[in-house]
Every structure is written in structure tokens, then in C-alpha cells.
A and B are shown apart, each in its own frame.
Chain A
């Protein structure tokens, strides 16, 4: 019975029904990109501190071997995704905004794809203590594959300190063009469900909702079949309507739990933990097969590529290699976007590698029409579509007025940058760009204030310390005088003599 999916439309505000544009890339099965000549592995593929390299230039590495270890409380290790020789540590364009450079580890592959003993690394998780299991997950280099790339193990550890009742496995892939989660659920549903069971064990809870959109019937059938074959009563499939951005972490919780995640809080505040289906499958591959996170499914699509499809690419494969494998660019490819059309990042070169966060490679061939930015006419369409019920038009005015205080009050930090307001604006105001800049500015101001505050505290404690010392000196002096008076004239004379003889000695 648990194979059947239930439908949910919790309280929902705003959002957009966007053309899915997914059929192009789901027409054929996931294909594996062969080992490239060169792998480029950025050390920071996750949020938090970059990993620290544990290999040297010239070392031979094997597939699955640790090449950079987690560093700090919030970090994740990086593994080699094929065998070869470490060629260099160098700065390389990555898929940050506009393809800025970042420190990377470059491996020249030997094409043998020799692996470390993966089977030996697999563990029997059911016999493990949750804490040991979490440590094990940490070693797999697994991060949130939905796009936020938060280290999974840390997320689980944080969740274990809260009262938790539900694990939500998020298969709501609401952004147009992206279909990697859809294809994963169609082809490898048992990996997703297996991973969900591992996480249930690690968290010590027995309720899991696998959430996916109602416009993905094939994924739904595959998951339902796999679930009834598995017969796990703890896991329930849930369908939600496909409205962008229903796949956001807080939005999914809102839909299936009918509660809002408090502002500035996490889903764990309302008893939920949300993991992307890809992340959950990666956990399964690591724990049950011993394969750390060295590859991921990514969607190659857009009218700038000849053959849209989903591929499984080794992390570190450059986008140029991936596109070449899929059949190349269309004639007028003009924009390369890593991520989806709503939240993706435009990069200037295809030398950037596929990393843990790369869920989609979108190539557009037409010049994206940019309307001139016109004055806001207060039409309020942006407010109609905001899933967080912000008033983007007011945020825009206070952004122009550079009023951080007011922006905070109006909830700028609650903005999830989904891009809905931006898309519907008839005056073509790039609202999200404005909001990103305002957020950065607010952080900057807060840091400045913090610095000033620290300096003030330092100054105050210093003057306090000086005052205490001075008072102590005065007290000591008074004490000496007092004791001298109490001692009487002979002793004073003796003291003076002693002082004189000391002076003459010098």
C-alpha cells in the first residue's frame, strides 16, 4: 500500500507555473561521460572551509582515493574521480558567478580508471552506531547535491541535536530545464530508497517522505515500484504540484508539513530534515558500495547544445569535455549557464569543471533579450509571485535609497532569490541582482559594525585595565606609607640608610 503516492498542496503563496522544458533531456537514458584527459578538482566544492590537499604534485592517485581532507568544523573531503598523476595545484575558472578562478587540483588521467578497493570500503550500516555512521558519511565527501552543497554529515549532526520526526527526501525539481533528479528517480530508485533507509537509521527516526512533483509520472512509477518491492513501511511517497519554486527546502516543508519554517531558522526547527534525492543516493553509493562522491548526474540542455541529455560525469570533468561527449554546441551558442535558467550562474568559459553542485549545464543559443530597465510602475506583480510573501517593489525602492535598516525590517534576508519577481517585472528591473547586492552590502555593514564594536571593546577593556593598575599602585603606595608611619622613626632611618647604601653601591 505504501507504493501509492498521496498528493499534497499545503499552504502555498505566489510562485510561477513555468514551461518545464525537460522533455528534451529526458528522452534518452543517462549516459556516462568517459574518463577525460584531465580532471580539475576545486578544493571548495561545498559550503564551508576548503579541503586541504593530502597529495603532492607527481603523486599517482587512484579512483576513489582521498586527495584533499576536510578542514575545520564545516568542510568536506575531495576524492580523485579517476586514476592518474597529480599534475598541479593551480588557480582555475570555476562555476562561481561569472567563472572566477579558485584553487584547484589538476590530475592528468592515465585512462586506466584504476580504483582503490571500493568493496572493502562498503560497510554494514545496520550494525553501526549512529555516531559512527555519521563519521563514516563525513568521510565520503558527500554534500547537498540540490545546489546548496552543505556538507551532509554536518547537516545530519546538527539535526541529531534537535527533536526530529520526519526525513524529507526532496525530489521536487521545480526549476525548468533541469531533469537530473527526475532521471535518477526513474533509473535508480533503489539507490534513493536505500539511501533514505541509511539516513533513517543514522537519525534514529522512522518516518520518511519522498516528495516529488505530479508532472513526473515515470519517476513516480519507478519509485512506487521500487518501494513496494522494498516493502518498507516507514517510507511514504508524496506528490506535490509543480509550481516553481516548490522545491526549495523551506517550500517543500511548507507543502508537505503545512507549517512554515521560521524566518532565519531551519526545517529542523519544525521537526524535519530535508535532503535532495541525489544526496541520498550518494550516501547509499558510499555506504553500501564504498564509492565516495566522485561523480554526479547532470543535465546538459538548452538550445545551444545539439543533443540535450542527462549524463553521469566524473567530478572534475570540464564542461567542454562533457559537451563534446554529448555532441557539441549548436551553431550560435552564446550563453553558458551552470544551473537552471532561474538561479543558475552565467560563466564565460567552458573550462570550468563539473563539481558537486553542478546539476545542470544550460547553453542558450539566442541572445537572451534584455529589456531596458524602466522605472517601477508599482504594479505589484512581483509581490503576487513572491513565494515568501515579500514586497519586492518596496525592497527595490529601499535598495535604491540604500536603507539597510528598512530592508532588514521588510525581510530582505528572507528572500530566497528564486527570481520569480525578476522574471515577471514589466519594467524589466533585475530585482534579484539588486537584492543580492543589497544583501552583500548589509553583510558588509554588519561586519564593519562588528569591527568597530570589537575595537571599542578593546579600547574600553584597556582603559579599565590601566585604571585598575593605577588604583592598585596608589593603594600600594598608601599601604607603604601607612606601614612606614606605623613602624616608627628608627625603622624609617634604617630604611633610608639601606636605600642610601644601595644607591652608593651602584
Chain B
């Protein structure tokens, strides 16, 4: 009897790239719902445009590069990029800003470097940084979260869509009337105005740790992240590294002078810290690969996030911190390579 041939091993692969990416998307659902609850339906429209342009860009580039186009959707990586980008954008963003960020992320940051697996920079963060640098006014357009005693304006889905598509608000509103400082903005201007952290924290925008509303989104992001950890889609080293990197300097400085520095809890629950720890920095393609390397990589991102927030001119530093550490990945991988069984420590240093 004759048989087919194949090389060992003969098992069924337990995972594939598509299912991994899909699980990342599932894990973002609770946070997305919280985001929509607090900031309105703009998130949904942003997600729609980001997904549209990410997938279209992916399909276009795959076609140009002579790869199978249907895989553009099947590996779900373009959709993960779109989702992470959407979480970074303000809820009211004109569609063309979203499109610019999405296309830059997929076409330039991902495919011009060789597509999935070869990109050096986190595509979502690269796209967001382009939007942040090119359209700073739009990126600062954050309304207040939907909480009773805050001065927020509820926009209907129709009104949101009108702004997203045409850039016009209802007649009775202006951009300035809606825009509120984000907690990190409030912190920055507060310190510039010689306020203490306690005074800044008395602002009705502030909640228990970070900003009201914001900290709840953070909680839901953490729930999704925990689920990914349980499913072993991500490993613990990068989240632990990022959180430690933020908490350590903020904790030390807070202990040394609690008036002059924000509390570690504030830094943890403000801006993109938790999203970065579980979803952005954990992008495997652009992260370090060895366990020790991932701890170092995450920790450095955390430190940079804190440093940029504290001493930089931007309110949040997640995107810059991630992109900076992306550049350091080859060095980290080289320096943290573990000792091979049966080799002495000395040999490892030589290699």
C-alpha cells in the first residue's frame, strides 16, 4: 500500500495567527462598550472608518506586492490595528484624519517594511503619531465623559456622524464649547500653574485614581487583558514590565513629594497606560521575544511613558514610548538571550 509523505511533527497546530488576533479583538469588546458609554457613538464611526481604511490599505498593498488578497481580512491583524488606533483617537474625529492615520499605519508602517512579521514599528502607534503631529487640534478635541454632574453635551448618532463626515457641529455648539481637558491635560496645566496635585485632583473631572469615566474604561481594558493572559494569547512579562515601569518612578516621586507629583494610581488609570500594557506593547511583531527581554522592553516603555508625561510637552507618552522602544528591540533581544541548556554562562556572553 502506498502513502502520502510529510515531515514530522504530525500534530494539528493548536493556534494560528488569525485566531490569536481575533481573540485580541474579543478582549477589547468590554473596553469598547465602556468607551461608547462614556464618550458616545463617535467611537463606532471611528472604528468603522479605521477598519475600512486599514483593510482596504492591507488588501491594496497585498495585491501590489503579489500576495493573496483574501488573507488581508483572514489574519485579522489589520482589524487589530484599526481597533487600537480607534482607542487612541478622540471620539469626534473627522473621517479623513482617521483615514490618514489608518493608511499610514498599514501602508507605510506595516507594508513598506515587509508586511506582517517584518514591521519594525507598531502600526497603530505610528498611524496615531502621524495624526497627532499633523493634526494636533483635532487630536485635542476630547469632550467630557458622560457623567451627570459634569458639563457634557450629548450628541446624537446623527449629529456625531455629521461631524465625522462633514466637520460641522449642530448650530448651537462649537468645538470650544465641547472640548474639555483630559485628566492628563489637566495635570499638566495644573502643575504649570503652580497647583499641587491635591488641588488638581479636586477638579470634578478627577475620580478615585485617574479621570472619572477614564478610569472605568481602564478597568474594562484590564479585564480584557486579564482574559488574554488566561488564554495565553499574551504572556505576563510585557504588561508587568509596563505597569512596573510606570508605577515605580511615579511611586518614588510621589513618596518624595506628593504635592509636586501625581500619584501612581493616577498615572496607572489615566491616558493609555493600561491599554498600552495589555494591548499595544504586547504586539508580538514589534516587541522583544525572549521572556527577560520582554520584561526589559515593557519596563522601559513604562519609564518612557512616565518621563514623557512628566517632562515632555505631550500630555500622554504611550505612542512615543512604544515607537522608541520598537527601535531598541534588536539590541534588547541580543542582550537578553537566555543561556542555552548545557552551555556555561561564560559561553553565552561570548555569543
Interface positions of A (Cβ within 8 A of B): 13, 18, 98-99, 250, 254, 260-265, 320, 329, 333-337, 339, 341-350, 362, 364, 367-371, 374-381, 383-384, 387-391, 393-394, 409-411, 414, 419, 422-428, 430, 432-433
Report B-chain residues with C-beta under 8 Å of the C-beta of A329.
Answer: 1
A364 touches B337 (CB 8 A): no
Question: What's the Cα separation between A350 and B343 when bound, in Å?
Answer: 42
B346 close to chain A: CB less than 8 A: no
Min C-beta distance of B104 to chain A, whole Å: 21
Interface string of B1-21 (1 = CB under 8 A from A): 111111111111111110110
Question: What's the Cα separation between A433 and B337 when bound, in Å?
Answer: 23
- Beyond the given pairs A377-B117, A389-B338, 15 more chain A to chain B contacts, judged by CB atoms under 8 angstroms and listed by A's residue number, are A18-B11, A99-B5, A263-B347, A265-B342, A333-B1, A335-B5, A335-B6, A346-B10, A369-B13, A374-B75, A375-B114, A393-B289, A411-B351, A419-B9, A423-B11
B5 touches A376 (CB 8 A): no
Report A-chain residues with C-beta under 8 Å of the C-beta of B289.
Answer: 378, 380, 383, 391, 393-394
B112-151 contacts to A (CB < 8 Å)? 114-118
Report B-chain residues with C-beta under 8 Å of the C-beta of A344.
Answer: 8, 10
A347 touches B5 (CB 8 A): yes
B1 touches A432 (CB 8 A): no
Question: What's the Cα separation between A492 and B17 when bound, in Å?
Answer: 97
Min C-beta distance of A117 to chain B, whole Å: 39
B284 close to chain A: CB less than 8 A: yes
Report B-chain residues with C-beta under 8 Å of the C-beta of A424.
Answer: 13-15
Interface string of B321-338 (1 = CB under 8 A from A): 000000000000100011
Question: What's the Cα separation between A364 and B341 when bound, in Å?
Answer: 34
Partner of A427, one of B117, B338, B343: B117
With A374-B75, A377-B17, A379-B20: A346-B9 Cβ-Cβ less than 8 Å: no
Min C-beta distance of A160 to chain B, whole Å: 23
B287 close to chain A: CB less than 8 A: yes
B9 touches A426 (CB 8 A): no
B290 close to chain A: CB less than 8 A: yes
B4 touches A335 (CB 8 A): yes
Report A-chain residues with C-beta under 8 Å of the C-beta of B4.
Answer: 334-335, 346, 348, 367
Min C-beta distance of B319 to chain A, whole Å: 20
With A350-B1, A350-B3, A389-B339: A378-B16 Cβ-Cβ less than 8 Å: no
Min C-beta distance of A346 to chain B, whole Å: 5
- Looking across the interface, which residue of chain B has its beta carbon closest to that of A434? B7
B340 close to chain A: CB less than 8 A: yes
Min C-beta distance of A322 to chain B, whole Å: 12
Question: What's the Cα separation between A378 and B9 when bound, in Å?
Answer: 21
A263 touches B6 (CB 8 A): no
Interface residues on B, range: 35 or more
Question: What's the Cα separation between A367 and B3 when bound, in Å?
Answer: 11
Report B-chain residues with C-beta under 8 Å of the C-beta of A350.
Answer: 1, 3
**How many residue pairs at the A-B interface have CB separations less than 8 Å?**
167
Q: List 30 A-B contacts (CB under 8 A).
A: A250-B341, A250-B342, A260-B342, A333-B1, A336-B1, A343-B9, A346-B7, A346-B8, A347-B3, A347-B5, A348-B2, A348-B3, A370-B6, A375-B115, A375-B118, A377-B116, A378-B287, A380-B289, A384-B235, A387-B341, A389-B341, A410-B337, A411-B340, A414-B341, A414-B343, A424-B15, A426-B13, A430-B7, A432-B8, A432-B9
Min C-beta distance of B298 to chain A, whole Å: 13
- Looking across the interface, which residue of chain A has its beta carbon closest to that of B117? A375
Report B-chain residues with C-beta under 8 Å of the C-beta of A393.
Answer: 289
B285 close to chain A: CB less than 8 A: yes
Instruction: Give me the 6 closest cross-chain CB pairs, A-B, nearest first.
Output: A375-B117, A419-B9, A263-B342, A379-B284, A336-B3, A380-B289
Min C-beta distance of B28 to chain A, whole Å: 18
Report B-chain residues with C-beta under 8 Å of the C-beta of A346.
Answer: 3-8, 10
B15 touches A432 (CB 8 A): no
B285 touches A378 (CB 8 A): yes
Report B-chain residues with C-beta under 8 Å of the C-beta of A384.
Answer: 235, 291
- Looking across the interface, which residue of chain B has its beta carbon closest to that of A351? B1
Question: What's the Cα separation between A342 and B9 when bound, in Å?
Answer: 4
Most buried by B among A250, A350, A389: A389
Question: What's the Cα separation between A98 and B118 when bound, in Å?
Answer: 34
Question: What's the Cα separation between A424 and B12 when bound, in Å?
Answer: 9
Report A-chain residues with C-beta under 8 Å of the C-beta of B338.
Answer: 389, 391
- Looking across the interface, which residue of chain B has its beta carbon closest to that of A409? B351
B12 touches A369 (CB 8 A): yes
Question: What's the Cα separation between A393 and B294 when bound, in Å?
Answer: 15
Report A-chain residues with C-beta under 8 Å of the C-beta of B117.
Answer: 374-378, 427
With A375-B115, A428-B13: A348-B6 Cβ-Cβ less than 8 Å: no
Report B-chain residues with C-beta under 8 Å of the C-beta of A263.
Answer: 340-343, 347
Report B-chain residues with C-beta under 8 Å of the C-beta of A369.
Answer: 12-13
Min C-beta distance of B303 to chain A, whole Å: 22
Question: What's the Cα separation between A261 and B347 when bound, in Å?
Answer: 15
Min C-beta distance of B37 to chain A, whole Å: 33
With A349-B1, A377-B285, A391-B289: A13-B341 Cβ-Cβ less than 8 Å: yes
Question: What's the Cα separation between A425 and B20 when bound, in Å?
Answer: 11
B11-38 contacts to A (CB < 8 Å)? 11-17, 19-20
A345 touches B8 (CB 8 A): yes
Min C-beta distance of A296 to chain B, whole Å: 21
A390 touches B3 (CB 8 A): no
Report A-chain residues with C-beta under 8 Å of the C-beta of B115.
Answer: 375
